[in-house]
Structure 1
Amino acid sequence: MGLRFTNSKLDVFKGREAPPTHYILKIQSFNLFSRSFLEKYSSDMFDVGDYKWRLTIYPCGNKDEGGQGHISIFLTLANTSSLPVGWELHAMFNFFVYDQNRDKYFSLPDNQLRRFHVMKTEWGEAKFLELQVFNDSSNGYLIDDACVFGAEVYVLKMTRKAEYLSTLKEPNTGIYTWTIKPFSAFTLDHYESQWFVAGGHKWRIIFYPRGNGIGKGNSVSAFLSLDESTLPPDTRLVVRYAIRVLDQNEPKADPFELREEIHFGASFSVLGAQKFMPLAKLNDPKQPYLVGDTCVMEAEVTLFGTVSTTS
């Protein structure tokens, strides 16, 4: 990406008062440098993100990259011989030039993100700054034949994870019905149903007859629990589940239910709702959910596939 100047360098550059975080290169007698036999100058090494870097300036442009008539500036990953075989890294970086008139450092609007590897250890801007603009002292870049460049580098740590979704040819569904009676005798904090099998995994209902958490005292809390011992390591289940309280007067009527499509895994093996059903609704004699001191709960679990992750 090269710079295009119209009426002012401010049309392209953005300025700030803070100096570059990682490296500053000050060049005295720039004109002597540009007229010398040195095509470029590479700075001393500096450390960022456990790697060593160099800042390279081409005073008359990097001609191999089409930088004639410009200042070219590049970031080089140095001392790569110490890196492991097959190394690569991603880094965000930006270059700066100091405006001595305004006491500000100007840079490109956006950081660049580049991949460094054994075949590409250098990235930069062949057309960073037009020499005509740079040499004009009113712009503040070259004053008394001195100038300042800088760089900031941020190495992205690789914490990549991969996810593999495997779907079943036919979804696998299991239904479990739990008759709770006499309901008034269920006086403990919570109860657990027997285990049942759905999709090759073991499940059970957990319910709190007088609520749990924000549902305590106002709701029935209900949850579906997965037996983690039936789950392979680093694997989640893609599931649609429903927890219901059945209508005992009209078996074909719509039940009161919670339904979700969600992943079950080792770190989230119990899912449901603290405010599953209002106690007032359950205890209302006009409602069909608690009849003859009996409540009928049902869980339906459909397994669609599995998701495995690797680092």
Structure 2
Amino acid sequence: MVGKSTLISNYLSTIQSNTSTWLSQMEQSRDSPRRKKEWGFGQLISLATFQNANQGYIVQDTCSLGAEILIVKPAEKQEKVTFISNPPNNVFTWKILRFSTLEDKFYYSDDFLVGDRYWRLGFNPKGDGDGRPHALPIYLYAQGFRPNAVVTNTWGAVNLRLKNQRSSNHRQLYSAAWYPIRSDYGVGVNNIILMKDLKDTSKGYLVNDAIVFEAEMVKVSVTNIVPV
């Protein structure tokens, strides 16, 4: 008897007696409830082909049919994904000094842990993509996982900010994406502020040759392995 949650795959075949060749079809694996008494296919072979004596499926008014049933043990565990809003330690601040001396390359912050995963910020002071050289970019990168975490794709929603160091008039972008398992996958914007506005010291974003980025992780996914 097939159990209530057992997965089954059906293989039905008919044999060509004159060539010893089997024509087979496979039915997709599925749950098999106890009340289900029949599985099969609406058309294993066309009737015209089947009845054609030259094809060899009917010999002396007799045909041969075969069925193979593979029983697959059901999964005992599954991944459970939980979305956590405003997780602990979800604000990371990065101050970059001597901004005017930075080279034309990407710079990265230290890693910070939110949820089950490490993250970091990155930017090129000379611009990136379509924003180059007129705007300043900022990106959030997913990194490795904390010990014993389930290694899987991770949801990250973040407020990326360029802090105004003289007022609350910060430049902010909201970004949300699924981050793959591999490290250094970045999501963000290539124009958090125009370079002319950044370098206008009266606006308060560049003070004493320093800028301040902030990442506020507003939602992340955490995955656990649980019994089915």
| Residue matched to 2:30 | none
CA pair 49-210 structure 1, distance change in 2 beyond 3 A: farther
CA pair 180-235 structure 1, distance change in 2 beyond 3 A: same
Query: Are the equivalent residues in 1 in contact too, given 2:116–2:145 (CA < 8 A)?
Result: no
2:220 pairs with 1:298: no
- Indicate the percent of aligned positions where both proteins have the same amino acid: 20
Query: Are the equivalent residues in 2 in contact too, given 1:208–1:221 (CA < 8 A)?
Result: yes
| Residue matched to 2:70 | 84
In 2: Cα distance, 1:183 partner to 1:202 partner? 26
Q: Per-residue displacement from partner, 1:192-217 (whole Å, max 9, x unpaired)?
A: 11122222432211111111222221
In 2: Cα distance, 1:170 partner to 1:257 partner? 17
Query: Are the equivalent residues in 2 in contact too, given 1:198–1:302 (CA < 8 A)?
Result: no
- Superposition CA RMSD, Å: 3.5
Residue 168 of structure 1, CA deviation: 4.2
Residue 48 of structure 1, CA deviation: 7.5
| Residue matched to 1:266 | 181
Largest Rg, 1 or 2? 1
Query: Are the equivalent residues in 2 in contact too, given 1:192–1:204 (CA < 8 A)?
Result: yes
Kindly tell me the number of residue pairs found equivalent between the two proteins.
Answer: 168
Query: Are the equivalent residues in 1 in contact too, given 2:131–2:137 (CA < 8 A)?
Result: yes
TM-score, normalization: structure 1? 0.45
- Residue 184 of structure 1 aligns with an amino acid whose one-letter code is S
* Deviant stretches of 4+, over 4 Å: 45-52, 231-234
In 2: Cα distance, 1:242 partner to 1:169 partner? 13
Q: SS at the partner of 1:281?
A: helix
Counterpart pick for 1:249 among 166, 172, 176: 166
Q: Per-residue displacement from partner, 1:138-163 (whole Å, max 9, x unpaired)?
A: xxxxxxxxxxxxxxxxxxxxxxxx97
Structure 1: gaps spanning 5 or more residues: 1-44, 58-77, 87-161
2:105 pairs with 1:189: yes
In 2: Cα distance, 1:180 partner to 1:273 partner? 18
Q: SS at the partner of 1:204?
A: strand
In 1: Cα distance, 2:66 partner to 2:224 partner? 35
| Residue matched to 2:154 | 237
In 1: Cα distance, 2:188 partner to 2:66 partner? 53
2:143 pairs with 1:227: yes
Query: Are the equivalent residues in 1 in contact too, given 2:143–2:182 (CA < 8 A)?
Result: no
Query: Are the equivalent residues in 2 in contact too, given 1:173–1:302 (CA < 8 A)?
Result: no
In 2: Cα distance, 1:53 partner to 1:183 partner? 71
Residue 187 of structure 1, CA deviation: 1.7
| Residue matched to 1:286 | 202
CA pair 82-167 structure 1, distance change in 2 beyond 3 A: same
2:39 pairs with 1:53: no
In 1: Cα distance, 2:86 partner to 2:157 partner? 14
In 1: Cα distance, 2:65 partner to 2:136 partner? 65
Q: SS at the partner of 1:53?
A: coil
Residue 80 of structure 1, CA deviation: 5.1
Q: Per-residue displacement from partner, 1:251-293 (whole Å, max 9, x unpaired)?
A: xx13101112332231583211223322222122332111221
TM-score, normalization: structure 2? 0.59
- Residue 84 of structure 1 aligns with an amino acid whose one-letter code is L
Query: Are the equivalent residues in 2 in contact too, given 1:173–1:303 (CA < 8 A)?
Result: no
